[in-house]
Amino acid sequence: MKAIICNEFGPVENLAFAEVNDPDIGENDILIDVAAAGVNFPDALLVQGLYQMQPEFPFIPGSEVAGTVHKCGKNVTSFQQGDRVIGISQLGGFAEKVALPATQVMPIPEGVTEQAAAGLITAHATAHHALKQRAALQAGETLLVTGAAGGTGLAAVQIGKRMGAKVIAVCSTTEKLKLAEKYGADITINYVKQDLKETLKELTQGKGIDVVYDCVGGEAFAACARVMAWKGRLLTVGFASGEIPKLAANLALVKGFSLVGVFWGQFIQREPDVFRQNMHELFSWASAGDITVHIEQRYPLSEAATALNRLINREARGKLILDTIAS
């Protein structure tokens, strides 16, 4: 099979597109013919050696896939050859085939394409977990999303709206704000042209923001920390700006808000049953048309570096997908 190989940490251009052996499967595993693989910011960090996990070389990056079952281990009875499935893996997704434990595989419901299913796993599942379990977002509350046109930001806009929140989208360009508005944002703020802290104070009439979904960090985080509502929840999801912010603890004290970390990768390992319940709800919303995976572009597997660079440069709008069928 063909796959993307990382032989050493470095620029994404150093990734190799090569022929490798098909993965072996154990008695409790499933071998999946990958139709689509989602591309995520952590993938870009991983191959540069900038992520929490640092695998041994060589390795195949990629953590979310969708396709069909090629073969099942002898102990697997819940799936059969030809079933359409999604799979969650720490590694191995940027390939034509991937072997995963059956516990990390779920069926794709009718009406959802493989490309949409692959895009639904990480970005939407992260936003869903963050807003449901970590923030306990309530209908009628105000939700602010930074980086609201990116994969997980756009997911948070949609899911927040589905949960009944008033959604404020924060982006750097008019084009990005229009996309967030298309997917449900009630209010949009261009933080390049507007002072974010002062604009939010004015919009909320001094009450502040109930929940912030921050995947940017840097100055945006600092501004949000100063406009939190009483008992607000400031979710730290990622640092797309490249700057890991520091929180002045006195702000949390006087405003009575909480800083809440969101680490989806640990959540799915520590609470797999809750994760499966979340995915069932997400798929039901997707099937009903309540949420949509905005796929900006599909790339052949061989162009994984191009897709990753678009994430690094913060150029992506919604999800980027590697299409192994076109590789």
Nearest Cα to Cα of residue 235 among 225, 250, 223? 225
Pair (76, 162) in one structural domain: no
Identify the CATH number of the domain in which residue 179 sits.
3.40.50.720
CA distance 276 to 286: 15
Task: Supply the pLDDT for residue 168.
Answer: 98
* Last-in-domain residue among 245, 265, 285: 265
Rounded mean pLDDT, 54-64: 95
Is 303's pLDDT higher than 90? Answer: yes
In a domain, 284, yes or no: no
Question: Which of the pair, 73 or 316, is modelled with greater confidence?
Answer: 73
Identify the domain containing residue 202 by its residue range: 122-265
Q: Taking the chain, what is the end-to-end CA distance rounded to the nearest angstrom?
A: 11
Pair (165, 226) in one structural domain: yes
What is the pTM assigned to this prediction?
A: 0.89
Q: Encode pLDDT of 86-115 as tens digits.
A: 999 889 999 999 999 999 999 999 889 999
Rounded mean pLDDT, 69-78: 96
Confidence class for position 326, pLDDT limits 50, 70, 90: very low
Task: Supply the pLDDT for residue 259.
Answer: 97
Task: Supply the pLDDT for residue 106.
Answer: 94
Pair (238, 310) in one structural domain: no
Pair (212, 186) in one structural domain: yes
Rounded mean pLDDT, 35-49: 94
Task: Supply the pLDDT for residue 327.
Answer: 43
Nearest Cα to Cα of residue 322 among 38, 49, 101? 38
Confidence class for position 240, pLDDT limits 50, 70, 90: confident
In a domain, 279, yes or no: no
* Residues 111/115/120/121 CA torsion (nearest 10 deg): 120
Q: Encode pLDDT of 151-195 as tens digits.
A: 899 999 999 999 999 999 999 999 999 999 999 999 999 999 999
Pair (190, 256) in one structural domain: yes
Confidence class for position 215, pLDDT limits 50, 70, 90: very high
Q: Are 324 and 95 in contact (CB under 8 A)?
A: yes
* Last-in-domain residue among 246, 265, 284: 265
Identify the CATH number of the domain in which residue 319 sits.
3.90.180.10
Pair (199, 160) in one structural domain: yes
SS3 92: coil
Pair (253, 209) in one structural domain: yes
Pair (170, 193) in one structural domain: yes
Pair (63, 26) in one structural domain: yes
Nearest Cα to Cα of residue 211 among 168, 176, 263, 171? 168
Task: Supply the pLDDT for residue 208.
Answer: 95
In a domain, 218, yes or no: yes
Nearest Cα to Cα of residue 165 among 191, 135, 195? 135
Q: List, in order, residues 6 or more apart from 277 with CB less than 8 Å away.
A: none
In a domain, 143, yes or no: yes
In a domain, 309, yes or no: yes
Is 325's pLDDT higher than 70? Answer: no
* Number of structural domains found in the chain: 2
Is 141's pLDDT higher than 70? Answer: yes
